[in-house]
């Protein structure tokens, strides 16, 4: 079993690597302009070029993928010539600094033609001082300097270049400034070190946003899973034992009806009845800063929608598997030996009949995490599925990649759990 788990772990790593490449290529080749998606359709070509440069989106695709995977700080350190350090401010913001002599943290900015160093000593207040002595000379002439700016980029300034940079200032819109950098390297540690980067859409670190969305989806999917699976398995076993009877036909038809109705239709129908007509529960999920479990009333309709959708499918799979097992030769042999009916059912039939449903259930755990996007959109639920949809619409590659990697881990992890459960249901199954 240990060797099997290790093999699955390396399979997980390989799958994540291949899927991340595929998602990167698909996002790159898909139509749309990320700058116009994020900033609006009325930005000028100069503003668009400035945005793409500041986000590092003007670099070759292989370099952007490498930065996303392994980080860009190692490359920036070679350019700057100093170690780089990421710190968290008392207000919770993350900042990148260069580490100078004596442990001083350094950043730089341009004021006209002058280079100014922002110095943060270990035990005193931050101050500024001129740093024109740091300019370096190109072999062909002209001066340049690689440093860390105040917006978490490693940048290359060129003295006298007069570069115009466009920055978005809240309340004022896009403002032009001279003396802007000629090249940017957005700083990040990379996915393999737990830093998938900053969301292009929101400007916030993806790692902070996505785990809140993941928590919300886990709550919604977990409650739906805990409710629907026992009910579906029980009703499926009951229908399989009574094959051809009135209860079997009623459960089969009801299960088929619930499983074929689209999720959005079920959700809207429930909102119309329980929220609009009866006014029993809210028809939308507006949590604000609260966690989902602090507003249980807002979870009722999304959970009920997922339950109805999943109930029919799992019920039908369990019913078919149970009916097939009850027709098998070893079950007939057990009855011929005079074993009591319910002993045959629980000791022999149920365990084998559950193998197929367990496979489907574990596959649907992955669906519950990522495929509930329609339910989340209908109810405005701030979960992982809706987050991935918004990221895809905006071509927010950092957020899209991080969400996809979570879904891959869930998919491979649930299948590993299913394989382990098989060994308990059927002792003949062994993994070497």
Asked whether residue 12 is assigned to any structural domain, the reply reads no
How buried is 95 (Cβ within 10 angstroms: 0-12 exposed, 13-18 middle, 19+ buried)?
Answer: middle
- Write out pLDDT tens, residues 88-119: 888 878 899 999 988 899 999 888 788 899 99
CATH of the domain at 407: 1.10.3720.10
Asked whether residue 321 is assigned to any structural domain, the reply reads yes
Question: What pLDDT is recorded for position 360?
Answer: 72
Q: Do 229 and 176 lie in a common domain? A: no
Q: Do 217 and 150 lie in a common domain? A: no
Q: Do 222 and 324 lie in a common domain? A: yes
Burial 19-56 (b: 16+ CB within 10 A, else e): bbeebbeebeeeeeebbeebbeeebeeebbebbbbbbb
DSSP summary character for residue 58: T
Question: What pLDDT is recorded for position 171?
Answer: 46
Q: Do 50 and 148 lie in a common domain? A: yes
CA distances from 68 to 54, 114, 177, 394, 400 (A): 15, 33, 29, 18, 12
**Cβ pair 70, 192 in contact under 8 A:** yes
Phi/psi-derived region of residue 114, left when phi > 0, alpha when psi is between -120 and 50, beta in every other case? beta
Q: Do 165 and 311 lie in a common domain? A: no
List of the chain residues with pLDDT < 50: 170-172
Q: Do 111 and 182 lie in a common domain? A: yes
Number of domains the chain contains:
2
Q: Do 272 and 384 lie in a common domain? A: yes
- Write out pLDDT tens, residues 374-411: 888 888 888 888 888 888 888 889 999 998 898 888 87
Asked whether residue 47 is assigned to any structural domain, the reply reads yes
Structural domain for 84, as ranges: 42-70+72-187
Asked whether residue 108 is assigned to any structural domain, the reply reads yes
**Cβ pair 120, 105 in contact under 8 A:** yes
Q: Do 153 and 233 lie in a common domain? A: no
**Cβ pair 84, 76 in contact under 8 A:** yes
């Amino acid at each position: 079993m240990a060797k099997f788990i290790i093999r699955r772990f390396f399979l997980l790593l390989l799958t994540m690597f291949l899927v991340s490449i595929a998602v990167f290529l698909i996002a790159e080749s898909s139509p749309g302009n990320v700058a116009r998606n994020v900033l609006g359709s009325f930005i000028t070509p100069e503003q668009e070029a400035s945005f793409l440069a500041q986000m590092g989106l003007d670099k070759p695709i292989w370099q952007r993928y490498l930065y996303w995977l392994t980080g860009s700080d190692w490359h920036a350190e070679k350019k700057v010539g100093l170690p780089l350090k990421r710190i968290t401010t008392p207000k919770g913001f993350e900042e990148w600094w260069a580490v100078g002599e004596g442990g001083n943290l350094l950043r730089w900015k341009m004021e006209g033609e002058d280079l100014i160093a922002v110095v943060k000593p270990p035990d005193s207040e931050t101050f500024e001082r001129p740093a024109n002595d740091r300019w370096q000379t190109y072999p062909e002439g002209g001066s340049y300097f690689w440093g860390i700016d105040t917006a978490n980029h490693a940048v290359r300034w060129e003295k006298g270049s007069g570069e115009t940079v466009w920055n978005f200032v809240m309340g004022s819109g896009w403002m032009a400034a001279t003396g802007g950098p000629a090249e940017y390297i957005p700083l990040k540690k990379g996915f393999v070190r737990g830093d998938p980067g900053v969301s292009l859409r929101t400007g916030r670190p993806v790692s902070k946003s996505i785990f809140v969305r993941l928590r919300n989806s886990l709550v919604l999917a977990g409650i739906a899973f805990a409710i629907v699976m026992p009910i579906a398995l029980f009703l499926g076993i009951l229908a399989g034992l009574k094959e051809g009877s009135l209860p079997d036909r009623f459960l089969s038809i009801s299960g088929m009806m619930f499983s074929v109705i689209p999720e959005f239709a079920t959700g809207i129908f429930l909102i119309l009845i329980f929220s609009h007509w009866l006014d029993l529960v809210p028809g939308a999920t507006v949590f604000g800063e609260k966690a989902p479990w602090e507003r249980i009333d807002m979870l009722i309709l999304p959970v009920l929608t997922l339950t109805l959708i999943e109930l029919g499918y799992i019920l039908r799979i369990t019913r078919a598997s149970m009916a097939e097992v009850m027709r098998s030769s070893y079950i007939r042999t057990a009855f011929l030996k005079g074993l009591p009916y319910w002993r045959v059912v629980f000791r022999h039939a149920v365990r084998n009949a559950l193998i197929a449903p367990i496979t489907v259930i574990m596959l649907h755990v992955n669906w519950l995490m990522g495929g509930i996007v329609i339910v989340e959109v209908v109810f405005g639920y701030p979960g992982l599925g809706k987050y991935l949809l918004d990221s895809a619409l905006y071509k927010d590659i950092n957020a899209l990649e991080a969400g996809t990697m979570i879904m891959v881990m869930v998919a491979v992890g649930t299948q590993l759990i299913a394989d382990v459960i098989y060994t308990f249901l059927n002792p003949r199954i062994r993994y070497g």
